[in-house]
Amino acid sequence: MKHEFETKVYYADTDAYGVVWHGTYLRWMERGRVDFCAQLGLDLVEMKKCDVLMPVTNMNVRYKSSAKLDEDITIETACEIVNSFLIRFKQKIKSKETQKIHIDATFDVVAVNSEGKMYRKIPEQFMQKLERGLETCPQPV
């Protein structure tokens, strides 16, 4: 299963050089991960009510080229690794027109409680939703 969304690069997304500011890519990728989880039935508000938070513990972001003002881009999100301990998201940001990859990234998330204590395993009710969603089309980006 893969989640995609498109956006246009606006002036507020760019830096003094007229290209996308590096933090903007992170914001777009977070939106992709949150929307992907929602697509799988994982409601982050519901998880928080159950004292389960999923912070990013590791990220590897490779900047391959710069997106530019007024460019239409696509943000792709999929799961690369899912086990009882962590979820690794694979994400790409690319030009909608040319398919040129601007960003190639992975993000690891784990389950912790509101005090920051790590769960030994992702709680079962959320793991089941994740596994059911991924069974439908388990193709990474």
CB 98 within 8 A of CB 82: no
| Burial 86-106, CB ≥16 within 10 A → b, else e | ebbbbbbbbbeeeeeebbbbb
pLDDT by residue (tens digit) across 83-96? Answer: 888 999 999 999 99
Per-state percent for the chain, helix, strand, coil, to nearest 5: 30, 40, 35
Would the CA dihedral through 4, 5, 8, 10 be positive or negative? negative
Q: Using the predicted structure, report yes or no on whether residue 141 has a pLDDT greater than 50.
A: no
Q: What is the pTM of this model?
A: 0.89
Q: Average the pLDDT over 111-130 and give the result.
A: 90
pLDDT tens track for 24-54: 999 999 999 999 999 988 899 999 999 999 9
Domains of the chain by residue range: 2-135
Say which CATH architecture domain 2-135 belongs to: Roll (3.10)
